[in-house]
């Protein structure tokens, strides 16, 4: 059952060219900042799908609220944790909010979890959570995606690289593969060569996370670099939802992965 379930669901998450463009609209589960581009989730979903997103990532409470805006060929992913963002003790502590059984019953194709393998108070919990969800997703035929990124994912990449090192991404991504995760998304390590090293070391499909908000050209240059390094797509929220035109930005990202255009050419799509 799980094998056929995964085969069917992976075809909704990845398109016929093997490209995966995941649009998350659930940053209010992790951040104390209000993102205007994600306040109207249905509108964001509508724009993302028009722009060529292959999957939508939402909190479980929005499966029913967004059902009329989702399409049969679009993957539906649920975000597993909520973060204690306002905590003065541990603002990055995550609490699991959904089971694999709940995800299946509400129509989801997969689950997404951001793993912290660095901080002592979270690392062992993350390994156990990933292992448990691998087992449960296999049982129910769900796709399991882990954001194997820098733990302080709202910091910019330069700060994270200095603090954690690129080696952290290499080992974190490979650990997810060893545990049986289906797909990983990870942070940009600063250059194409380092990202290619991650792709080759991970041995499973790798997506790029959006990282901190940046200029549209710098963001698209990053997308171009990871495409050339072997990434299969993106898991990007703020650099799409907070862009002047989320639909065009989604289309620009897809054009890089689907047709191989450069970042400068993709900028023309943004008008």
**Residue 122: CB atoms within 10 Å:** 18
CA–CA separation, 85 and 22 (whole Å):
23
Asked if 192 contacts 225 with a C-beta cutoff of 8 angstroms, the reply is yes
Domain that holds residue 198: 2-253
CA–CA separation, 169 and 175 (whole Å):
10
**Between 240 and 158, the higher pLDDT residue:** 240
**Residue 72: CB atoms within 10 Å:** 5
Residue 38 inside a domain? The answer is: yes
Average pLDDT over all residues of the chain:
94
- pLDDT tens per residue, range 129-176: 999 999 999 999 999 999 999 987 677 888 888 999 999 999 999 999
Residue 266 inside a domain? The answer is: no
CA–CA separation, 170 and 31 (whole Å):
26
**pLDDT at res. 2:** 56
Residue 260 inside a domain? The answer is: no
Report how many domains make up the chain.
1
Q: What is the pTM of this model?
A: 0.95
Residue 171 inside a domain? The answer is: yes
CA–CA separation, 32 and 114 (whole Å):
17
Name 128's Cβ contacts closer than 8 Å, sequence gap at least 6: none
Confidence tier at 195 by pLDDT (50, 70, 90): very high
Residue 227 inside a domain? The answer is: yes
Residue 28 sits in a domain whose CATH number is 3.20.20.70
Phi first, then psi, for residue 200 (nearest 5°) are -70, -30
Owner of token pair 């649920």: 78
Strand partners, 58: 78
- pLDDT tens per residue, range 108-125: 999 999 999 998 778 899
- pLDDT tens per residue, range 203-233: 999 999 988 889 999 999 999 999 999 999 9
Residue 164 inside a domain? The answer is: yes
**Nearest by Cα to 172 from 116, 121, 109:** 116
Write out the two tokens for 141: 């035929």
């Amino acid at each position: 059952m799980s094998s056929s379930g995964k085969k069917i669901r992976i075809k909704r998450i990845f398109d016929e060219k093997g490209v995966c463009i995941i649009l998350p609209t659930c940053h209010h589960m992790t951040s104390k900042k209000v993102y205007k581009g994600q306040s109207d989730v249905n509108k964001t979903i509508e724009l993302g799908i028009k722009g060529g997103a292959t999957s939508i990532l939402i909190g479980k409470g929005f499966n029913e609220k967004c059902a009329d805006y989702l399409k049969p060929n679009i993957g539906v992913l649920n975000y597993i944790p909520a973060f204690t963002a306002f905590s003065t003790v541990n603002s990055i502590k995550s609490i699991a909010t959904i089971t694999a059984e709940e995800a299946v019953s509400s129509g989801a194709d997969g689950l997404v979890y951001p793993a912290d393998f660095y901080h002592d108070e979270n690392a062992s919990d993350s390994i156990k959570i990933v292992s448990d969800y691998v087992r449960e997703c296999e049982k129910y035929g769900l796709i399991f995606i882990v954001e194997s990124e820098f733990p302080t994912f709202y910091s910019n990449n330069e700060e994270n690289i200095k603090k954690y090192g690129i080696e952290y991404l290499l080992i974190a991504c490979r650990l997810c593969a060893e545990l049986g995760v289906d797909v990983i998304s990870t942070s940009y390590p600063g250059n194409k060569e380092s990202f290619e090293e991650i792709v080759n070391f991970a041995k499973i499909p790798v997506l790029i996370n959006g990282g901190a908000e940046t200029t549209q050209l710098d963001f698209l240059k990053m997308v171009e670099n990871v495409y050339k390094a072997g990434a299969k797509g993106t898991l990007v929220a703020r650099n799409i939802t907070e862009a002047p035109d989320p639909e065009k930005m989604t289309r620009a990202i897809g054009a890089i992965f689907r047709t191989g255009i450069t970042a400068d050419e993709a900028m023309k799509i943004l008008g």
